[in-house]
Amino acid sequence: MAKRDLKEQIRLIVNADHWDPFQVLGIHIIEKEGRKAVTVRAFLPEAEETWVVDVDTRNSYKMERINEAGFFEAIFVERKEVFPYYIRTKSSDGMISEFYDPYSFMPVLTGFDLYLMGEGRHYKKYEKFGAHVMEIDGIKGVHFAVWAPNAKCVSVIGDFNKWDGRRHPMRVLGSSGIWEIFIPGLKEGELYKFEIKSRFNKYITVKADPYAFYFELRPKSASIVYDINKYKWNDREWMEMRSKKNWLKSPISIYEVHLGSWMRMPEEGDGYLTYGEIADRLTTYVEEMGYTHIELLPVTEHPLDASWGYQTIGYFAPTSRYGTPEDFMYFVDKCHQNNIGVILDWAPAHFPTDGHGLGFFDGTCLYEHEDPRKGFHPDWGTKIFNYGRNEVRNFLISNALFWLEKYHIDGLRVDAVASMLYLDYSRKEGEWVPNIFGGRENLEAIDFLKGFNEIAHQNYPGVLTIAEESTAWPGVSRPTYLGGLGFSLKWNMGWMHDMLEYMSRDSVHRKYHHNNLTFSLLYAFTENFVLAFSHDEVVHGKLSMLNKMPGDMFQKFANLRLLCGYMYGHPGKKLLFMGGEFGQWDEWNHDKSLDWHLMRFRPHRCLQKFVMDLNHLYRSEPALYEVDFHHQGFEWIDFHDADQSVISFIRKAKDPRDFLVIVCNFTPVPRMGYRFGVPENCFYKEILNSDSQIYWGSNLGNAGGAWAENIPWQGRPYSINITLPPLSVLIFKPVISPSSA
């Protein structure tokens, strides 16, 4: 390298403008006076003096300062080959430091890595990108990698280099747009970000690591080097069971939880519980209540509490609000040891515009669409991913697999799927761009969702993928080879809307809206549905579940028990947001704990016991879960009794001889001598009565059950005559043997 060229290269290094600092810094073979020689160059602005120390001989050689900013060089005219070395420095205050030179190491990422990343098929990309503690040639340090194809220079900055972007510029690997560096001596716990200088418009930014495993507690935003491979899991039995489980034919009763507001510590200023504290309390509670799964609102790192986690910055990091990544692993492990599955809400539909996030990452719209008609979400003020870009698809799919692999997560509930499927979602005419065929379907997003589901199910048998999809898009929970999107399950938003609208009406008007009760059975088997009363239904003026119910206090509780009972009888898996199980009066507030003090009062304790008994009954009766997604598992007895707002139906197990009879009265009027048809001539044991006094009901019932009579009714050969309590659900189980009645 000619002197003039070297001078220009040094200028670029000093100004943090060099696209390939490894070309200049580190150890190189050069030509000196017509002969081969070796040079070592380093930019060390904090050093007064520097030396190169030969690792083999321990001899030290002083380096010459050849630029006032702190660029040093040592030339070894007697050497013909590169050699292992480290650098010793002396600062102006006399401090001596020794370290291995980051610019003496070869690339860590391989050509095969780059090939898979370019194709969008590197599904363990999280093992290569971000910050990884590792050892190279016996030297410990941290390897950093980031994708920024439109940058002219990318540097790692942190406390270790005084956040000086000149100190650790990275190398770019060919035309891949991937930048990397191994920095020896760094350890777990280091704070860092990436300083990015774009090739366009002199744009300079500082970004958090998209692949960071851990972050500072908000409002701080630095990424933290963290080794996530240290935790020793104790859930082998659960994981082996899960891989063989057919969840579609198993009970799924989900308790939806926001970790920051399920329970807090009033004795500590209403502070958060840690992951460990939540694990010990929540698993005990959920196991006692009989739920099969916990679904967590997003635990991925997010800057704004009020987003509830749905505006994610750290897609690979559990939020530091409640502890470390290892602490969250303990939470999942504890759930599994108590036979509780863990589902995460996942938000690949959009991301926030915060300056340290993914938006305009390298001075261009890298992760998002440039056209705001495709890349900006008007409802949430967020960016929309460009699903047509291989690297973006790879980022998201590898992220999904990351949670399944590294955190043993049992399912991902994908948020806002409808907003992904439609280009005109929440947009007026002229505010969206049609697809290549002129349609409104987002073809790239559809392809992404299919790919995500195929890869997740292929690699992790027994894992659930669940769509929050609010339209009539066909085949959401059907396999991709049949033209579906490939999800395991889909939230039944229509049933939820119809039922809440129906239940909020005064009972005297319900007979005019009987269709709300029965309409769902026209489409109940077109998808694998989850019946969900989620967090979205108890915020923003929608009232709590209990407060939606009409009538006096007695009727409110009775109505909510009735609603829950009907949900558990209706085909489909179940989900209830926290607080609904004991009758929270106030709307959910993410900034405070649930009102656990209400458990001092009998109505709330009784409602909680009802939900607990429902869960345990549900799990013990195959008729309530084995055939959820086929008409053979459900049979109407009578859905015509609109005047009395009563419905009755049969739920069947895989063995049709195993069945239950369910009757619901949606008025506060008790129905004495209510007769309805049954298929078998036997005793029908009353195994659940929501009006029982143990649930704070009026205690009307049938003294344990009723015998069928040889009186044909409603097209059936037999019938039973019962007392139907007000605002109640009754479940009867046929007992063929009189002695067991």
CA distance 649 to 660: 8
CA distance 320 to 275: 10
Residue 576 per-residue DSSP state: E
Mark whether 415 is an active-site residue. yes
Catalytic residue chosen out of the listed positions 101, 362, 468, 626:
468
Q: Which two tokens stand for residue 375?
A: 């890349």
Handedness of CA 296, 297, 302, 306 (dihedral sign): negative
Mark whether 188 is an active-site residue. no
Count of Cβ atoms closer than 10 Å to residue 31 Cβ: 9
CA distance 617 to 688: 8
CA distance 74 to 80: 14
Q: Which of 467, 425, 466 is nearest to 442 (CA)?
A: 425
96-113 exposure pattern, b = at least 16 Cβ within 10 A, e = fewer = eeebbbbbbbebbbeeeb
Catalytic residue chosen out of the listed positions 410, 415, 641, 691:
415
Q: How far is CA 392 from CA 66, 125, 199, 333, in A?
A: 43, 12, 21, 30
Q: Which two tokens stand for residue 599?
A: 């458990």
CA distance 139 to 63: 23
**What is the residue-wise DSSP string for 103-117?**
GGS--SS-HHHHHHH
468-501 exposure pattern, b = at least 16 Cβ within 10 A, e = fewer = bbbeebebbbbebeeebbbbbbbbbbebbebbbe
Instruction: Give, rounded to a whole angstrom, the gap between the first and last alpha carbons of the chain.
Output: 97
Provide φ and ψ at 206, rounded to 5°. Answer: -120, 120
Q: Which two tokens stand for residue 603?
A: 């109505």
CA distance 550 to 297: 29
* Cβ-Cβ contacts under 8 Å for 499 (sequence gap 6 or more): 516, 517, 563, 566, 567
Q: How far is CA 735 from CA 193, 486, 545, 624, 687, in A?
A: 67, 40, 35, 17, 11
Question: How far from chain centre, in Å, is Cα 711?
Answer: 54
Active site residues: 415, 468
